[in-house]
Amino acid sequence: MFNCKIYHDDDNILHNENYECLKDMATGLGLTYQQVADLSSRKDKKKYQQFKYFPKIEIVRIKQKSDNKV
């Protein structure tokens, strides 16, 4: 399970929704799977995020009870 939050200046939340997998997220956002996987995997500052009006995109994996099994 993943949460996708897209916002600008912490006040303007454009999108905040949970998805079962990255493929569902890609479909919901109208992006390719590869684009979403790229956003999810690189947590550091990305070149395109340096633009003045680029929204911040956070993709966080939500751990479920089944993820804690050893």
Q: Residue 31 — very low, low, confident or very high, per pLDDT cuts 50/70/90?
A: very high
Please name the residues in contact with 22: beta carbons below 8 A apart, sequence gap of 6 or more. Answer: 2, 33, 36, 37, 40, 59
Q: Residue 11 — very low, low, confident or very high, per pLDDT cuts 50/70/90?
A: confident
The answer to whether residue 4 sits within a structural domain is yes
The answer to whether residue 13 sits within a structural domain is yes
Would you say 15 and 6 are in contact if contact means Cβ atoms under 8 Å apart? yes
Give the percent of the chain with pLDDT over 70.
81
Q: State which H helix or E strand residue 27 sits in.
A: helix 22-29
Range of the domain at 2: 1-19+40-46+56-64
Distances (CA, A) of 55 to 3, 52, 67: 16, 9, 30
Q: Note the pLDDT of residue 9.
A: 81
pTM: 0.76
Domain count across the chain: 1
The pLDDT tens digits for 37-66 are 988 887 666 666 677 777 888 999 998 776
Q: Is 28 in a helix, a strand, or coil? A: helix
